[in-house]
Protein backbone atom coordinates (compact mmCIF):
# COMPACT_ATOMS: atom_id res chain seq x y z
CA UNK A 1 0.00 0.00 0.00
CA UNK A 2 2.91 2.36 0.74
CA UNK A 3 3.44 3.22 -2.92
CA UNK A 4 -0.19 4.01 -3.41
CA UNK A 5 -0.63 5.79 -0.13
CA UNK A 6 0.69 8.99 -1.65
CA UNK A 7 -1.82 9.18 -4.52
CA UNK A 8 -4.59 7.68 -2.41
CA UNK A 9 -4.09 10.37 0.23
CA UNK A 10 -4.48 13.11 -2.37
CA UNK A 11 -7.62 11.49 -3.77
CA UNK A 12 -9.13 11.05 -0.32
CA UNK A 13 -8.55 14.68 0.54
CA UNK A 14 -10.07 15.85 -2.74
CA UNK A 15 -13.06 13.56 -2.33
CA UNK A 16 -13.78 15.07 1.09
CA UNK A 17 -13.54 18.71 0.09
CA UNK A 18 -16.83 20.47 -0.61
CA UNK A 19 -17.35 22.65 -3.66
CA UNK A 20 -17.09 25.68 -1.35
CA UNK A 21 -13.62 24.55 -0.26
CA UNK A 22 -14.20 23.12 3.24
CA UNK A 23 -12.42 19.88 4.15
CA UNK A 24 -14.32 17.36 6.29
CA UNK A 25 -12.00 16.39 9.15
CA UNK A 26 -13.21 12.79 8.97
CA UNK A 27 -16.15 11.74 6.80
CA UNK A 28 -17.17 8.63 8.78
CA UNK A 29 -17.01 9.99 12.30
CA UNK A 30 -20.04 12.01 13.28
CA UNK A 31 -18.26 14.44 15.63
CA UNK A 32 -15.68 15.25 12.93
CA UNK A 33 -18.01 15.92 10.01
CA UNK A 34 -17.01 19.58 10.23
CA UNK A 35 -14.23 21.74 8.91
CA UNK A 36 -11.58 22.87 11.41
CA UNK A 37 -9.29 25.82 10.65
CA UNK A 38 -6.39 23.85 12.21
CA UNK A 39 -6.87 20.60 10.28
CA UNK A 40 -7.85 22.52 7.16
CA UNK A 41 -4.73 24.69 7.05
CA UNK A 42 -2.42 21.71 7.56
CA UNK A 43 -4.31 19.82 4.84
CA UNK A 44 -4.14 22.79 2.45
CA UNK A 45 -0.40 23.09 3.15
CA UNK A 46 0.05 19.42 2.16
CA UNK A 47 -2.03 19.97 -0.97
CA UNK A 48 0.23 22.89 -1.91
CA UNK A 49 3.28 20.69 -1.39
CA UNK A 50 1.94 18.09 -3.81
CA UNK A 51 0.97 20.70 -6.41
CA UNK A 52 -2.79 20.67 -5.76
CA UNK A 53 -2.95 24.44 -5.48
CA UNK A 54 -6.55 24.79 -6.57
CA UNK A 55 -7.71 22.70 -3.61
CA UNK A 56 -5.64 24.83 -1.23
CA UNK A 57 -6.94 28.09 -2.74
CA UNK A 58 -10.52 26.94 -2.30
CA UNK A 59 -9.93 26.06 1.34
CA UNK A 60 -8.40 29.46 2.11
CA UNK A 61 -11.22 31.21 0.25
CA UNK A 62 -13.71 29.28 2.41
CA UNK A 63 -11.83 30.22 5.61
CA UNK A 64 -11.62 33.89 4.58
CA UNK A 65 -15.35 33.97 3.82
CA UNK A 66 -16.10 32.40 7.22
CA UNK A 67 -14.07 35.05 9.02
CA UNK A 68 -15.50 37.91 6.95
CA UNK A 69 -19.05 36.79 7.70
CA UNK A 70 -18.28 37.03 11.43
CA UNK A 71 -16.46 40.37 11.37
CA UNK A 72 -18.97 42.15 13.64
CA UNK A 73 -18.69 39.43 16.32
CA UNK A 74 -14.91 39.59 16.08
CA UNK A 75 -15.06 43.38 16.55
CA UNK A 76 -17.17 42.87 19.69
CA UNK A 77 -14.63 40.34 21.02
CA UNK A 78 -11.78 42.81 20.40
CA UNK A 79 -13.74 45.61 22.10
CA UNK A 80 -14.52 43.42 25.13
CA UNK A 81 -10.88 42.51 25.49
CA UNK A 82 -9.84 46.18 25.28
CA UNK A 83 -12.14 46.81 28.26
CA UNK A 84 -10.49 44.02 30.22
CA UNK A 85 -13.49 41.69 29.80
CA UNK A 86 -13.60 38.12 28.55
CA UNK A 87 -15.38 38.09 25.17
CA UNK A 88 -18.84 36.51 25.11
CA UNK A 89 -18.80 32.91 23.79
CA UNK A 90 -20.96 33.95 20.81
CA UNK A 91 -18.38 36.58 19.80
CA UNK A 92 -15.30 34.37 19.50
CA UNK A 93 -14.43 32.54 16.31
CA UNK A 94 -15.12 28.83 16.62
CA UNK A 95 -12.49 26.21 15.99
CA UNK A 96 -14.76 24.38 13.51
CA UNK A 97 -17.84 25.11 11.44
CA UNK A 98 -20.17 22.91 9.48
CA UNK A 99 -19.10 22.75 5.86
CA UNK A 100 -21.92 25.11 4.88
CA UNK A 101 -20.60 27.65 7.36
CA UNK A 102 -22.87 27.21 10.38
CA UNK A 103 -21.63 27.14 13.98
CA UNK A 104 -21.69 23.57 15.24
CA UNK A 105 -23.34 24.11 18.63
CA UNK A 106 -22.22 24.92 22.14
CA UNK A 107 -21.52 21.36 23.29
CA UNK A 108 -17.97 21.61 21.94
CA UNK A 109 -14.85 23.42 23.19
CA UNK A 110 -15.27 26.09 20.54
CA UNK A 111 -12.77 28.67 21.76
CA UNK A 112 -9.36 27.58 20.42
CA UNK A 113 -6.95 30.16 19.00
CA UNK A 114 -4.18 28.01 17.52
CA UNK A 115 -6.03 27.26 14.26
CA UNK A 116 -5.98 30.94 13.31
CA UNK A 117 -2.21 31.00 13.67
CA UNK A 118 -2.01 27.86 11.54
CA UNK A 119 -4.32 29.50 9.00
CA UNK A 120 -2.17 32.65 8.69
CA UNK A 121 0.97 30.54 8.36
CA UNK A 122 -0.72 28.35 5.73
CA UNK A 123 -1.87 31.38 3.71
CA UNK A 124 1.67 32.72 3.47
CA UNK A 125 2.90 29.26 2.44
CA UNK A 126 0.22 29.17 -0.25
CA UNK A 127 1.36 32.50 -1.67
CA UNK A 128 4.93 31.20 -1.78
CA UNK A 129 3.93 27.89 -3.38
CA UNK A 130 1.97 29.70 -6.06
CA UNK A 131 4.93 31.97 -6.85
CA UNK A 132 3.48 35.16 -5.49
CA UNK A 133 5.14 37.82 -3.42
CA UNK A 134 4.33 37.60 0.32
CA UNK A 135 2.31 40.82 0.21
CA UNK A 136 0.33 39.79 -2.90
CA UNK A 137 -2.67 38.33 -1.07
CA UNK A 138 -6.05 39.01 -2.69
CA UNK A 139 -7.98 41.93 -1.14
CA UNK A 140 -10.49 39.69 0.68
CA UNK A 141 -7.65 37.68 2.21
CA UNK A 142 -5.86 40.83 3.25
CA UNK A 143 -8.94 42.10 5.09
CA UNK A 144 -9.29 38.79 6.92
CA UNK A 145 -5.58 38.78 7.78
CA UNK A 146 -5.79 42.31 9.25
CA UNK A 147 -8.86 41.35 11.28
CA UNK A 148 -7.23 38.15 12.55
CA UNK A 149 -4.08 40.01 13.57
CA UNK A 150 -6.17 42.45 15.63
CA UNK A 151 -8.18 39.57 17.12
CA UNK A 152 -5.07 37.59 18.09
CA UNK A 153 -3.36 40.70 19.43
CA UNK A 154 -6.36 41.21 21.72
CA UNK A 155 -6.75 37.60 22.84
CA UNK A 156 -3.45 35.72 22.65
CA UNK A 157 -2.91 35.67 26.41
CA UNK A 158 -6.50 34.62 27.18
CA UNK A 159 -6.82 30.98 28.29
CA UNK A 160 -8.43 28.81 25.61
CA UNK A 161 -8.66 25.13 24.65
CA UNK A 162 -5.51 23.69 23.12
CA UNK A 163 -5.03 21.95 19.78
CA UNK A 164 -6.34 18.75 21.39
CA UNK A 165 -9.45 20.67 22.47
CA UNK A 166 -8.69 20.28 26.17
CA UNK A 167 -7.80 22.33 29.27
CA UNK A 168 -9.75 25.45 28.33
CA UNK A 169 -8.65 27.40 31.40
CA UNK A 170 -4.95 27.29 30.46
CA UNK A 171 -2.49 29.16 28.27
CA UNK A 172 -0.82 26.55 26.07
CA UNK A 173 2.71 26.67 24.74
CA UNK A 174 1.86 25.02 21.42
CA UNK A 175 -1.04 27.45 20.93
CA UNK A 176 1.37 30.33 21.47
CA UNK A 177 3.80 28.73 19.00
CA UNK A 178 1.05 28.61 16.36
CA UNK A 179 0.13 32.23 17.06
CA UNK A 180 3.78 33.26 16.82
CA UNK A 181 4.17 31.45 13.48
CA UNK A 182 0.91 32.89 12.18
CA UNK A 183 1.69 36.45 13.22
CA UNK A 184 5.20 36.30 11.76
CA UNK A 185 3.62 35.07 8.52
CA UNK A 186 1.04 37.87 8.71
CA UNK A 187 3.85 40.40 9.14
CA UNK A 188 5.20 39.33 5.75
CA UNK A 189 1.76 39.45 4.12
CA UNK A 190 0.96 42.97 5.36
CA UNK A 191 2.78 46.23 4.85
CA UNK A 192 3.50 49.33 6.95
CA UNK A 193 1.95 49.72 10.41
CA UNK A 194 -0.25 46.63 9.99
CA UNK A 195 2.75 44.42 9.37
CA UNK A 196 4.67 45.97 12.24
CA UNK A 197 1.73 45.37 14.59
CA UNK A 198 1.72 41.64 13.73
CA UNK A 199 5.45 41.39 14.25
CA UNK A 200 5.21 43.25 17.59
CA UNK A 201 2.62 40.82 18.97
CA UNK A 202 4.70 37.85 17.80
CA UNK A 203 7.66 39.29 19.69
CA UNK A 204 5.59 39.66 22.86
CA UNK A 205 4.46 36.05 22.55
CA UNK A 206 8.00 34.75 22.26
CA UNK A 207 9.07 36.72 25.34
CA UNK A 208 6.05 35.32 27.22
CA UNK A 209 6.94 31.72 26.32
CA UNK A 210 10.53 32.18 27.39
CA UNK A 211 9.35 33.63 30.69
CA UNK A 212 6.45 31.27 31.42
CA UNK A 213 6.65 28.19 29.21
CA UNK A 214 10.12 26.80 29.88
CA UNK A 215 11.32 24.74 32.81
CA UNK A 216 14.45 22.69 33.27
CA UNK A 217 15.54 23.45 29.71
CA UNK A 218 12.44 22.06 27.96
CA UNK A 219 9.13 23.53 26.83
CA UNK A 220 6.10 23.04 29.07
CA UNK A 221 2.76 21.70 27.84
CA UNK A 222 1.07 24.77 29.30
CA UNK A 223 1.89 27.50 31.76
CA UNK A 224 2.42 25.87 35.17
CA UNK A 225 2.40 22.33 33.77
CA UNK A 226 5.84 20.81 33.21
CA UNK A 227 4.55 17.80 31.22
CA UNK A 228 5.75 17.37 27.66
CA UNK A 229 3.33 17.25 24.73
CA UNK A 230 3.84 16.04 21.16
CA UNK A 231 2.34 19.27 19.83
CA UNK A 232 5.43 21.12 21.10
CA UNK A 233 7.25 19.90 17.96
CA UNK A 234 5.45 22.68 16.15
CA UNK A 235 7.46 25.28 18.08
CA UNK A 236 10.26 24.47 15.62
CA UNK A 237 8.50 22.85 12.66
CA UNK A 238 6.73 24.70 11.22
CA UNK A 239 6.33 27.81 13.37
CA UNK A 240 9.96 28.70 13.98
CA UNK A 241 9.42 29.99 17.51
CA UNK A 242 12.71 28.27 18.27
CA UNK A 243 15.23 26.98 15.79
CA UNK A 244 15.53 23.26 15.09
CA UNK A 245 18.93 23.01 16.70
CA UNK A 246 18.38 25.27 19.70
CA UNK A 247 19.16 23.50 22.99
CA UNK A 248 15.55 24.14 24.06
CA UNK A 249 14.11 22.34 21.02
CA UNK A 250 16.69 19.56 21.15
CA UNK A 251 15.87 18.84 24.81
CA UNK A 252 12.14 19.03 24.15
CA UNK A 253 12.44 16.52 21.28
CA UNK A 254 14.57 14.25 23.49
CA UNK A 255 11.79 14.34 26.06
CA UNK A 256 9.17 13.55 23.43
CA UNK A 257 11.30 10.57 22.36
CA UNK A 258 11.78 9.37 25.93
CA UNK A 259 8.28 9.93 27.31
CA UNK A 260 5.93 9.81 24.32
CA UNK A 261 7.35 6.95 22.22
CA UNK A 262 7.58 3.34 23.35
CA UNK A 263 9.65 0.58 21.71
CA UNK A 264 10.34 2.66 18.62
CA UNK A 265 6.62 3.16 18.04
CA UNK A 266 4.70 6.26 17.06
CA UNK A 267 4.21 9.44 19.08
CA UNK A 268 1.58 9.85 21.80
CA UNK A 269 -0.02 13.23 22.48
CA UNK A 270 0.95 13.30 26.17
CA UNK A 271 1.47 10.72 28.89
CA UNK A 272 -1.87 11.30 30.62
CA UNK A 273 -3.92 11.23 27.42
CA UNK A 274 -6.83 8.82 27.78
CA UNK A 275 -8.86 9.67 24.64
CA UNK A 276 -9.51 6.26 23.02
CA UNK A 277 -7.03 4.89 25.54
CA UNK A 278 -4.27 7.33 24.49
CA UNK A 279 -2.64 5.59 21.52
CA UNK A 280 -0.09 6.71 18.94
CA UNK A 281 -1.16 9.71 16.87
CA UNK A 282 -0.38 9.23 13.20
CA UNK A 283 0.02 12.94 12.49
CA UNK A 284 2.44 13.39 15.41
CA UNK A 285 4.52 10.47 14.21
CA UNK A 286 4.69 12.15 10.81
CA UNK A 287 5.47 15.54 12.34
CA UNK A 288 8.34 14.14 14.40
CA UNK A 289 9.61 12.86 11.06
CA UNK A 290 9.12 16.33 9.57
CA UNK A 291 11.24 17.79 12.37
CA UNK A 292 14.01 15.26 11.67
CA UNK A 293 13.77 15.79 7.91
CA UNK A 294 14.24 19.54 8.41
CA UNK A 295 17.06 18.90 10.86
CA UNK A 296 18.86 16.75 8.25
CA UNK A 297 18.37 13.51 10.22
CA UNK A 298 17.01 11.67 7.21
CA UNK A 299 17.29 8.10 8.53
CA UNK A 300 15.11 8.89 11.51
CA UNK A 301 12.62 10.72 9.30
CA UNK A 302 12.41 7.80 6.87
CA UNK A 303 11.80 5.31 9.66
CA UNK A 304 8.93 7.47 10.88
CA UNK A 305 7.46 7.67 7.37
CA UNK A 306 7.46 3.87 7.30
CA UNK A 307 5.80 3.78 10.69
CA UNK A 308 3.04 6.10 9.45
CA UNK A 309 2.49 4.00 6.32
CA UNK A 310 2.10 0.89 8.50
CA UNK A 311 -0.87 2.55 10.21
CA UNK A 312 -2.98 2.47 7.02
CA UNK A 313 -5.79 -0.09 6.93
CA UNK A 314 -6.43 -2.43 4.01
CA UNK A 315 -8.37 0.35 2.25
CA UNK A 316 -5.35 2.62 2.47
CA UNK A 317 -6.98 4.84 5.09
CA UNK A 318 -5.06 6.41 7.94
CA UNK A 319 -6.79 6.75 11.31
CA UNK A 320 -6.45 9.54 13.84
CA UNK A 321 -4.58 7.22 16.19
CA UNK A 322 -3.61 3.55 16.39
CA UNK A 323 -4.36 1.65 19.61
CA UNK A 324 -0.76 0.66 20.31
CA UNK A 325 1.14 1.08 23.58
CA UNK A 326 -2.03 2.61 25.02
CA UNK A 327 -1.62 4.92 28.00
CA UNK A 328 -4.95 3.73 29.46
CA UNK A 329 -6.13 0.51 27.73
CA UNK A 330 -9.35 0.42 29.75
CA UNK A 331 -10.45 3.73 28.19
CA UNK A 332 -10.50 2.42 24.61
CA UNK A 333 -13.82 0.55 24.97
CA UNK A 334 -15.28 3.46 26.91
CA UNK A 335 -14.70 5.83 23.97
CA UNK A 336 -15.75 3.21 21.41
CA UNK A 337 -19.00 2.86 23.28
CA UNK A 338 -19.44 6.63 23.38
CA UNK A 339 -18.45 7.69 19.83
CA UNK A 340 -17.77 4.51 17.83
CA UNK A 341 -14.49 3.32 16.30
CA UNK A 342 -11.44 5.61 16.08
CA UNK A 343 -11.94 8.25 13.36
CA UNK A 344 -10.81 6.73 10.03
CA UNK A 345 -9.85 8.11 7.62
CA UNK A 346 -8.65 11.33 9.21
CA UNK A 347 -7.73 13.81 6.48
CA UNK A 348 -5.14 15.52 8.69
CA UNK A 349 -3.31 12.16 9.12
CA UNK A 350 -3.17 11.81 5.33
CA UNK A 351 -1.96 15.40 5.02
CA UNK A 352 0.78 14.76 7.58
CA UNK A 353 1.88 11.69 5.61
CA UNK A 354 2.03 13.75 2.40
CA UNK A 355 3.94 16.48 4.21
CA UNK A 356 6.63 14.14 5.47
CA UNK A 357 6.84 12.18 2.21
CA UNK A 358 7.24 15.40 0.23
CA UNK A 359 9.89 16.81 2.54
CA UNK A 360 11.75 13.53 2.10
CA UNK A 361 11.19 13.79 -1.63
CA UNK A 362 9.41 10.41 -1.67
CA UNK A 363 6.28 10.20 -3.73
C1 LIG B 1 -8.25 16.62 17.88
C2 LIG B 1 -8.06 17.96 17.19
C3 LIG B 1 -8.60 17.91 15.78
C4 LIG B 1 -10.01 17.34 15.73
C5 LIG B 1 -10.48 17.08 14.30
C6 LIG B 1 -9.71 16.24 17.80
O7 LIG B 1 -9.90 15.08 18.49
O8 LIG B 1 -7.82 16.68 19.22
O9 LIG B 1 -6.69 18.27 17.16
O10 LIG B 1 -8.58 19.20 15.24
O11 LIG B 1 -10.07 16.13 16.44
O12 LIG B 1 -9.57 16.28 13.62
Q: For 59-68, how does the pLDDT look when each residue is reduced to its tens digit (9 = 90+)?
A: 999 999 999 9
The confidence band for 1, taking pLDDT boundaries of 50, 70 and 90, is very low
Give per-residue pLDDT as tens, 244-253. 999 999 999 9
What tens digit of pLDDT does each residue of 153-210 get? 999 999 999 999 999 999 999 999 999 999 999 999 999 999 999 999 999 999 999 9
Query: What's the mean pLDDT in 264-272?
Result: 97
DSSP3 helix / strand / coil % (the chain, rounded to 5): 55, 5, 40
Residue 35 to residue 55: CA distance in whole angstroms: 14
pLDDT at 124 over 60: yes
Residue 363 has pLDDT above 80, yes or no: no
Looking at the CA of residue 348, tell me the nearest atom of ligand 1.
12
CA distance 43 to 357: 14
Inter-helix orientation angle 139-155/173-189, to 10° = 140
Element (H, E) at 322: strand 321-322
Mean pLDDT of the 47-68 span? 98
Whether 25 is in the pocket of ligand 1, judged by its Cβ within 6 Å, is yes
Nearest CA to ligand 1 atom 8: 164
Catalytic residue among 39, 48, 153, 162: 162
Would you say residue 239 has pLDDT above 50?
yes
Residue 177: strand, helix, or coil: helix
**Measured torsion, CA atoms of residues 301, 262, 175, 343, in degrees rounded to the nearest 10:** 90
Amino acid sequence: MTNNLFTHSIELIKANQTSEGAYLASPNFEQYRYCWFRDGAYIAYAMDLVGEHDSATRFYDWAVAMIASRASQVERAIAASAQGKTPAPEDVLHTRYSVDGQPAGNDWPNFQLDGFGTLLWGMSQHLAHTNRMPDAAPVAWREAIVLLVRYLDALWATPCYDCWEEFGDRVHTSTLAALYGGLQAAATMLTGEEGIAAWRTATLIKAFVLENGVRGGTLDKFVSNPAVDGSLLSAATPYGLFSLDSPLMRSTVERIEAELRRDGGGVHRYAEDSYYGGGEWVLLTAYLGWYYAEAGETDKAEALLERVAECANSEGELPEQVPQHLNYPSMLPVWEERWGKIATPLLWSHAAYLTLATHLNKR
